[in-house]
C-alpha cells in the first residue's frame, strides 16, 4: 500500500459528508423555532436511519470509483470507513442531544427564571459552536484532500502568526493554569506559504497542548529555530502525554486520543490530520514525540522564503 492510500477511501467523500452535517446543523437551528417538539427517541431513530442510508450510499459510490489506488481489501476498506463515520456521527450526536435537552429545559422556564434561561442558552451556544467547528474542519480537510487545489503562497512572518495564536488562546490557557511562552529569534526568517493555513496549524497544536495539560496546569512553549534553510517550529508541553499505543495513529482522520474524564479534552479528532496535510502541502514534515505524564512535542519544518 502506498503512503496516503488509506486516506483516499476515507476522505474522497468528505464534501458529501460535510454537506450532510451542514444540513443537520441547519435543521438544528430551525429547531430552535419549533422542531425541538419532536421527542428524543424519534429524533435519534430518524438520525440513525438517515446516517445509515448515507453510509450505504457513500459506500456504493465509493465502489464505483474506477481510479481508486487503495490496496485494502473490500472488508478492510469498509471497516475503516465505517469507523470514520461512527467517530463523526458520535461528534454530531452528543451536541445534538445536549441542545435538545436544554431547549426542552428552556421551554419549561417561567418568564421570571431569566438566570436559568441564560444558563441553558449558554450551553446551547457552546454546542452549536462545536458543530460549527466540526463542519469547518471537515470542509477544510476536504479542500486539502482535493487534487490540484491551488495553494496560496506569500511571504509569512511566522512569529506574527504565533503571537496572534497566543493572543487568541491566552484566556483559555489562563483558565486552565497554562502559561504560553515563545522561544526563538526576535525576527525569524519568513517562510513561503498560506498565512491562514499556517495559523490553523499552530492553533490546532497549541489548543491540543492546553487540552491535554495536567489538571494543575503547566507550560506550552512555541520554539522557533532556523536550520539549514528551513524553519523548525516545535510546540512543547509538559502535559499528560500520549501512550505508545496511541502515538502511531494521532494523525489519522478523526482519531481521538482517549481522555480521562476532563471535558476540556473533548474534540473532533481532525486537528492533527489537518495539521499534517497543511504542513505537507507547504513542503514540510510533521513529527510527534511524547511520553505519558511527561508531555508532548510536535515539530514541523517549512522552507524559508528566498527572495532571489
Domain ranges, ordered by start, for the chain? 5-145, 154-303
Q: Measuring CA to CA, how many Å separate 237 from each of 39, 207, 246?
A: 44, 11, 17
Residue 76 has pLDDT above 80, yes or no: no
Q: Could you give the residue ranges of the DSSP H alpha helices within 176-270?
A: 195-211
Architecture of domain 154-303: 2-Layer Sandwich (3.30)
pLDDT band with cut points at 50, 70 and 90 for residue 160: very high
| Phi, psi angle pair for 181, to nearest 5° | -135, 135
Asked whether residue 187 carries a pLDDT value surpassing 70, the answer given is: yes
pLDDT of residue 230: 93
> Do residues 168 and 200 make contact, with C-beta atoms less than 8 angstroms apart?
no
pLDDT of 264 strictly over 60: no
Segment 176-194 mean pLDDT: 93
Q: Is the per-residue pLDDT at 196 higher than 50?
A: yes
Closest listed residue to residue 203, CA positions, set 265, 269, 272: 272
Q: Between the CA of residue 293 and those of 138, 172, 182, 272, 296, what are the distances in Å?
A: 31, 21, 23, 20, 9
Give residues with Cβ within 8 angstroms of 25, minimum separation 6: 128, 131, 132, 135
pLDDT of 296 strictly over 90 = yes
Q: Reduced to 3 states, what is the DSSP secondary structure of residue 235?
A: strand
Residue 4: which pLDDT band, with cuts at 50, 70 and 90?
very low
Helix axes 114-145, 74-107, angle to 10 degrees: 160
Angle at 10 between CA 6 and CA 12, to 5 degrees: 110
Task: State the pLDDT at residue 37.
Answer: 39
pLDDT at residue 134 is higher than 50: yes
For residue 260, pLDDT over 90 is answered with no
Question: What pLDDT score was predicted for residue 236?
Answer: 96
User: Nearest to residue 161, comparing CAs of 133, 198, 116, 134?
Assistant: 198
What is the sign of the dihedral through the CA atoms of 123, 128, 130 and 131? positive
Q: Residue 24: what pLDDT?
A: 59
Comparing 91 with 222, which gets the higher pLDDT? 222
Residue 100: closest CA among 43, 22, 19 = 43
Joined grid coordinates for residue 140: 477544510
Residue 220 is predicted with a pLDDT of: 96
Cell numbers at 223, concatenated: 520554539
User: Is the confidence at residue 161, as pLDDT, over 60?
Assistant: yes
> For residue 144, what are the contacts with CB-CB under 8 A and spacing of at least 6?
274, 277, 278, 281
Tell me what pLDDT residue 231 has: 94
Residue 90 vs residue 205, higher pLDDT = 205
In angstroms, rounded to a whole number, what is the distance separating the alpha carbons of residues 29 and 200?
Answer: 27
User: Which pLDDT score is estimated for 88?
Assistant: 67
Pairwise CA distance, residues 264 & 26, whole Å: 26
Give the confidence band of 3 by pLDDT, cuts at 50, 70, 90.
very low
Inform me whether the pLDDT recorded for 172 exceeds 70: yes
pLDDT tens by residue, 40-71: 445 545 555 565 555 555 545 545 543 444 45
Mean pLDDT (whole number) for 226-247: 91
Which comes out higher in pLDDT, residue 142 or 253? 142
Q: Does 99 have pLDDT greater than 90?
A: no
What's residue 27's pLDDT? 53
C-alpha cell at 96: 445534538
Q: What is the mean pLDDT of residues 147-176?
A: 88
Mean pLDDT score across all residues of the chain: 75
Residue, of 154 and 72, whose pLDDT is higher: 154
Task: Name the CA dihedral angle for 4, 7, 153, 227, rounded to a multiple of 10 degrees.
Answer: -50
CA 145, CA 186: separation in Å to the nearest integer? 35
How much is the pLDDT for 69? 44
Amino acid at each position: 500500500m502506498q503512503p496516503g492510500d488509506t486516506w483516499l477511501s476515507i476522505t474522497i467523500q468528505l464534501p458529501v459528508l460535510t454537506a450532510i452535517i451542514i444540513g443537520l446543523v441547519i435543521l438544528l437551528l430551525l429547531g430552535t423555532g419549533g422542531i425541538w417538539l419532536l421527542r428524543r427517541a424519534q429524533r435519534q431513530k430518524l438520525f440513525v436511519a438517515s446516517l445509515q442510508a448515507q453510509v450505504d450510499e457513500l459506500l456504493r459510490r465509493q465502489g464505483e470509483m474506477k481510479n481508486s489506488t487503495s490496496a485494502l481489501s473490500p472488508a478492510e476498506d469498509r471497516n475503516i470507513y465505517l469507523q470514520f463515520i461512527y467517530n463523526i456521527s458520535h461528534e454530531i450526536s452528543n451536541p445534538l442531544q445536549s441542545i435538545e435537552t436544554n431547549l426542552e429545559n428552556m421551554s419549561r422556564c417561567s418568564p421570571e427564571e431569566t438566570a436559568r434561561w441564560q444558563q441553558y442558552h449558554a450551553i446551547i451556544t457552546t454546542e452549536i459552536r462545536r458543530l460549527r467547528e466540526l463542519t469547518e474542519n471537515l470542509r477544510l480537510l476536504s479542500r486539502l484532500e482535493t487534487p490540484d487545489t491551488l495553494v496560496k503562497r506569500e511571504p509569512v512572518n511566522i512569529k506574527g502568526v504565533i503571537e496572534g495564536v497566543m493572543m487568541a488562546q491566552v484566556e483559555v490557557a489562563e483558565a486552565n493554569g497554562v502559561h504560553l511562552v515563545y522561544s526563538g529569534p526576535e525576527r525569524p526568517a519568513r517562510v513561503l506559504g498560506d498565512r491562514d493555513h499556517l495559523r490553523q496549524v499552530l492553533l490546532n497544536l497549541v489548543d491540543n497542548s492546553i487540552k491535554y495539560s495536567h489538571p494543575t496546569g503547566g507550560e506550552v512553549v512555541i520554539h522557533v529555530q532556523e536550520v539549514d534553510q528551513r524553519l523548525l517550529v516545535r510546540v512543547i508541553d509538559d502535559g499528560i502525554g500520549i501512550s505508545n499505543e496511541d502515538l502511531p495513529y494521532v494523525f489519522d482522520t478523526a482519531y481521538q486520543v482517549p481522555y480521562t474524564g476532563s471535558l476540556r479534552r473533548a474534540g473532533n479528532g481532525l486537528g492533527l490530520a489537518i495539521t499534517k496535510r497543511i504542513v505537507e502541502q507547504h513542503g514540510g514534515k510533521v513529527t510527534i514525540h511524547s511520553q505519558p505524564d511527561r508531555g508532548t512535542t510536535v515539530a514541523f519544518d517549512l522552507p524559508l522564503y528566498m527572495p532571489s
